[in-house]
C-alpha cells in the first residue's frame, strides 16, 4: 500500500510540476534551439474594431475616444456590439457623431460571442480586431497588431496584456504572458488575449456564440493551416482585481468555456498537429486537469503518512500552502503579503477548475456574460 501511495504522490506531483514548471522549460528549449519566426511588415490593411459590451456606460465613452484616437493610418471602422445593455451604453454609442462608429445590439442576454457574431456581418475591414470595453489600447496598438498579417501564414494575432496592480491576478497574467512569448517563438499560440486580438475576416465565419472566441480563434486558425501569433508591441492594459475572491465567478466561467472549446477542437490534440498539439497538452490539458492531480496528491500523501510518518512533511507543506492561501482569500490584509497572495490565487484558480469540470460533466454550458467590474 505504501508503494502505491508513494507512486501516486510521485505521479501527481509530476503532473502538476510539468504543467507549471516542466512545460515552460520545454518551451524555453524549443525557443532557443528550434524557433519558428514569422515575417512582420508595416502594411495598413483596412481594420474593423468590434467592442463587445454589456452595461458599460461608464467605460464606453473613454473606449470610443481611445480607439478613434489611434494613430492608425489605414481605414478604420468601429462597431459597438451591445449585448442587451440596460443602461445608457447604446444611447452613448448612438450619440457618437463620428461616421466610423456604428452600433449593433442583441435583443437578449446572449453573451459576448453572440454580440461579436451580430457585429461581424457589418464589418468592412480585411482584419477584424476584437477588444473589451475595459481594455485601454496604446496609441500605436492597432498599427502594431496588424504587422504580423504581412506574413501569409498568420491567421490571428494576440496583444500582450499589461495589468495595473501587483495582486495575484497580475502575477498570473505575467506568467501567462511569459508562456505566450515562448509559444509565439516556438510554434504559435493556442490562445489569444480576450481583451484585444485580431483575425483575418476570412477566418471569422462561422462564429459560434457558445465558444470562447479568444481560445477558439487560435485553434480555428491552426485547424485551417494558419498560425496564431503574439505581437509584443501591441499593448492593452486593464486594472487588476484587487480582491482575489472577486475573481471567482469570472474564473469559473472562463474555465467552463475553455473546456468547451478544448472539446470542440480535441482533434488538434493528435500528434500530427505537432507543436500545436504539444502546446494544447502542456498549456491547457495539463493545466485544466491539475486540480485532480492536487486532490490525488493529498489523498495519496494521507495514505502514505499512516504507513510512513516521514510522509508527514509532505502533508505539512500542503497544509501550509492551502492554509496560507485560504487566509489570503479571507483577509485583504493578508493579501498584501506576496506569498499568501500567490497561494490564494493558486487555490482560487484550481478550485474554479474543479467547479468548471462539475458544470461540464453535468452538461451545463456558460454563455451569458457578466463582465468583471474592475
Per-residue pLDDT of the chain (374 residues; tens, 9 = 90+): 899 999 999 999 999 999 999 999 999 999 999 999 998 888 899 999 999 999 999 999 999 999 999 999 999 999 999 998 999 999 999 999 999 999 999 887 788 999 999 999 999 999 999 999 999 999 999 999 999 999 999 999 999 877 665 555 667 778 888 898 999 999 889 999 999 999 999 999 999 999 999 999 999 999 999 999 999 899 887 665 555 555 688 889 889 999 999 999 999 999 999 999 999 999 999 999 999 999 999 999 999 999 999 999 999 999 999 999 999 888 888 888 889 988 998 999 999 999 999 999 998 776 555 665 54
Report which of 339, 307, 296, 337 is spatially closest to residue 320, judged by C-alpha positions. 339
* pTM more than 0.75: yes
Report which of 367, 347, 369 is spatially closest to residue 359, judged by C-alpha positions. 367
Q: In Å, how far from its chain's centre is CA 339?
A: 23
> Rounded to an integer, what distance in angstroms lies between the CA atom of residue 3 and that of residue 203?
52
Angstrom distances, CA of residue 183 to CA of 6, 83, 189, 357, 369: 34, 33, 6, 26, 29
- Does residue 59 fall inside a structural domain? yes
Q: How many CB atoms lie within 10 A of CB 309?
A: 9
C-alpha cell at position 150: 504581412
290 Cβ partners below 8 Å, 6+ apart? Answer: 15, 16, 19, 20, 350, 353
- Does residue 158 fall inside a structural domain? yes
- Does residue 279 fall inside a structural domain? no
- Does residue 86 fall inside a structural domain? yes
- Does residue 351 fall inside a structural domain? no
Host domain of residue 113: 47-243
Residue with cell 468601429: 78
Q: Are 173 and 161 in contact (CB under 8 A)?
A: yes
Dihedral of alpha carbons 207, 213, 219, 221, sign? positive
Task: Give the chain's domain count.
Answer: 1
Dihedral of alpha carbons 373, 239, 56, 114, sign? negative
- Does residue 23 fall inside a structural domain? no
Q: Are 78 and 159 in contact (CB under 8 A)?
A: no
- Does residue 300 fall inside a structural domain? no
> Rounded to an integer, what distance in angstroms lies between the CA atom of residue 300 and that of residue 310?
14
C-alpha cell at position 353: 477548475
- Whichever domain contains 237, its CATH number is 3.90.550.10
- Does residue 145 fall inside a structural domain? yes
Amino acid at each position: 500500500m505504501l508503494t502505491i501511495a508513494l507512486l501516486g504522490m510521485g505521479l501527481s506531483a509530476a503532473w502538476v510540476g510539468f504543467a507549471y514548471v516542466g512545460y515552460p522549460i520545454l518551451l524555453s528549449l524549443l525557443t532557443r534551439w528550434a524557433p519558428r519566426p514569422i515575417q512582420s511588415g508595416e502594411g495598413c490593411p483596412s481594420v474593423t474594431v468590434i467592442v463587445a459590451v454589456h452595461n458599460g456606460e461608464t467605460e464606453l465613452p473613454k473606449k470610443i475616444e481611445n480607439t478613434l484616437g489611434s494613430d492608425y493610418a489605414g481605414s478604420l471602422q468601429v462597431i459597438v456590439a451591445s449585448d442587451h445593455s440596460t443602461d445608457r451604453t447604446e444611447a452613448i454609442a448612438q450619440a457618437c457623431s463620428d461616421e466610423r462608429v456604428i452600433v449593433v445590439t442583441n435583443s437578449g442576454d446572449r453573451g459576448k460571442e453572440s454580440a461579436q457574431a451580430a457585429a461581424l456581418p457589418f464589418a468592412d475591414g480585411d482584419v477584424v480586431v476584437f477588444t473589451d470595453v475595459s481594455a485601454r489600447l496604446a496609441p500605436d496598438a492597432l498599427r502594431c497588431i496588424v504587422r504580423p498579417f504581412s506574413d501569409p501564414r498568420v491567421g490571428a494575432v494576440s496583444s500582450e496584456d499589461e495589468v495595473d496592480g501587483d495582486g495575484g491576478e497580475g502575477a498570473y497574467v505575467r506568467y501567462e504572458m511569459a508562456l505566450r512569448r515562448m509559444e509565439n517563438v516556438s510554434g504559435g499560440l493556442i490562445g489569444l488575449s480576450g481583451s484585444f486580438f485580431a483575425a483575418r475576416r476570412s477566418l471569422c465565419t462561422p462564429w459560434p456564440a457558445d465558444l470562447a472566441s479568444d481560445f477558439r480563434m487560435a485553434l480555428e486558425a491552426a485547424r485551417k493551416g494558419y498560425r496564431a501569433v503574439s505581437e509584443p508591441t501591441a499593448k492593452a492594459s486593464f486594472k487588476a482585481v484587487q480582491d482575489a475572491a472577486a475573481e471567482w465567478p469570472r474564473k469559473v466561467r472562463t474555465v467552463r468555456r475553455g473546456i468547451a472549446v478544448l472539446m470542440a477542437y480535441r482533434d488538434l490534440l493528435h500528434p500530427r498537429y505537432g507543436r500545436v498539439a504539444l502546446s494544447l497538452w502542456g498549456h491547457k490539458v495539463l493545466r485544466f486537469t491539475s486540480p485532480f492531480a492536487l486532490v490525488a496528491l493529498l489523498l495519496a500523501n494521507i495514505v502514505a503518512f499512516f504507513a510512513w510518518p516521514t510522509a508527514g512533511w509532505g502533508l505539512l507543506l500542503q497544509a501550509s500552502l492551502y492554509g496560507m492561501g485560504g487566509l489570503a482569500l479571507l483577509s485583504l490584509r493578508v493579501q498584501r503579503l506576496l506569498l499568501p497572495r500567490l497561494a490564494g490565487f493558486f487555490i482560487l484558480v484550481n478550485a474554479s477548475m474543479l467547479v468548471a469540470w462539475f458544470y461540464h460533466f453535468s452538461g451545463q454550458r456558460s454563455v451569458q456574460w457578466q463582465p468583471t467590474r474592475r
